Amino acid sequence: MYLKLALLNLWKYRRRVAVIFAGVVLSVAAMELIGGMLNGMRLTFFSEILGGSGHVQLHARGYEDQLDRYSAANLIEAPDVVVDALREAPHGERVEHAEQLLSFASVLGARGRTAPVVAHGVDPRTRYFPEATENIVAGSFALKERGITISRDDAELLRLEIGDEATILARMPTGVPLVRRLTVGGVFESDHAELGAGVAFMRLSDAQSLLNAADRVSELRVTLRDPYEADDFAASIEPLLDEHGLIARAWREIHGTVIVFVEIADLTAAIINAFVLIVAASVITNAILMTAFDRIATFGALRAIGLKRRQLVGMVVCEGAFVGVAGSLIGLAVAVPVVLYFQTHGLDIGDMGEFFGTSRTYYFSFEAAATARTFIYGVLVASLSALYAGWATARLDLIHSLQEA
């Protein structure tokens, strides 16, 4: 009968209950949307930024002191030996993928025009640079021998099409300039801030040949099975690094600015969520208090016939919990489809993506566990608000309650 009494009371005071209900619905919907957005941000960070950069980057010692990060003057010797060591025990279990890269600054020229580009010599099946490999708009990324894949912006600037020849000018590690003719094999288009223009890809072997740097690379890029082990992994391979004159940079160091942003965003979201919860709790508590104080006489009668204080509190909490459950379900029913929509279609964040080093389209992410947490928060806020209201009502003097009749 408690439940029935609670439901009937909710119906009797339906206008005030509507306020409580709206408070729960809005706060739960807001928390779900903010959660979906931030979860998407985190996933974007891991998939787009870490997916492209890897979790640990190895460079020749002295790399950090170079004025030009793309100078070919400081390269890793015998990278195959290092990669083999990384793939073997005890590191092999933690390493998911390791790849060699030779990146260098160059100038691309064609039809009397030139464009500065950072050229990356990579494995044709590279798993990094997904913004380029997955967004080919002409030709393919297959990277044939003496082939080059360039951005659409550069192709338009240099008036290049698939099959056209371009001239690339670079400097050997010794500083001697070299020129080579390459055939355009693919054009990609990306709204990624770092891959939109001024980037080109060629085979690692072509890059090594061009720079006369056989069996040398500028970077070893490593992806771990667990990205959160990156710092620990970097520390664990120190003997190997010392042996080969290398340094390791984990993703927290590589993307320091972005991580600070993600952490600030997390903190902001926590503050927003706390604010939403406090506002909702205030609205809900006041509405429940008003509803409860309207029934002081009834509560007095119930206590007079034997209802204990804790039973009275339980009855009011039961009402709050019911509104919390129903309101949270409705709130999620409103917000989850929105999160799912933006998870599929994305949200255009314009130039903000450039600032963060991600694409312009920002995808939300639905996470069942986070949604369950939001549901629990909604029910808890309503129940705790009702607990306060119930406690405030139950502590009233019984005679005073009966006099309200």
Partner 1 sequence: MSLVDLADVHKEYRLGATSVHAVRGVSLEIREGELVSIVGPSGCGKTTILNMIGCIDRPTRGTVRFNGQDVGHLSDSQAAQMRLRSIGFVFQSFNLVPVLSVRENIALPMVLAGASKKERRRTGDHLMDAVGLTEFAAHKPGELSGGQRQRVAIARALVNSPRLVIADEPTANLDSETGGEVLDVMRRLNRDEGVTFIFSTHDEKILRYAGRIVKLRDGVIEGVDGEQPECT
* Structure letter (DSSP) for residue 308: -
Name which of 114 and 311 has its Cβ closer to partner 1.
311
Name which of 4 and 67 has its Cβ closer to partner 1.
4
CB count within 10 Å of CB 352 equals 11
Residue with tokens 């030009």: 68
Name which of 5 and 290 has its Cβ closer to partner 1.
5
Contact between residue 382 and residue 285 where contact means Cβ atoms under 8 Å apart: no
Contact between residue 200 and residue 154 where contact means Cβ atoms under 8 Å apart: yes
Name which of 225 and 400 has its Cβ closer to partner 1.
400
Residue type (1 letter), 330: I
Instruction: Copy the structure tokens of residue 304.
Output: 């007079």
Applying CB under 8 A, which residues contact partner 1? 1-2, 4-5, 8-9, 11-12, 297-298, 300-309, 311, 398-399, 402, 405
Q: Residues near 84 by Cβ (< 8 Å), separated by ≥ 6?
A: none
* Structure letter (DSSP) for residue 64: G
**Minimum CB–partner distance for residue 2 and partner 1 (Å):** 8
**Minimum CB–partner distance for residue 390 and partner 1 (Å):** 15
* Structure letter (DSSP) for residue 397: -
**Minimum CB–partner distance for residue 324 and partner 1 (Å):** 20
What pairing do the DSSP bridges indicate for beta strands 177-188 and 147-151?
parallel
**Minimum CB–partner distance for residue 386 and partner 1 (Å):** 17
**Minimum CB–partner distance for residue 300 and partner 1 (Å):** 7
CA distance 167 to 179: 7
**Minimum CB–partner distance for residue 16 and partner 1 (Å):** 14
Name which of 8 and 142 has its Cβ closer to partner 1.
8
Name which of 13 and 129 has its Cβ closer to partner 1.
13
CA neighbor of 233 nearest in space, from 220, 250, 246, 253: 250
Name which of 183 and 298 has its Cβ closer to partner 1.
298
Q: Residues near 273 by Cβ (< 8 Å), separated by ≥ 6?
A: 31, 34, 35, 377
Q: Which residues pair with 102 in a beta bridge?
A: 121
Q: Check the CA dihedral 322-327-330-335 and report its sign.
A: negative
Instruction: Copy the structure tokens of residue 340.
Output: 């799912």
**Minimum CB–partner distance for residue 1 and partner 1 (Å):** 5
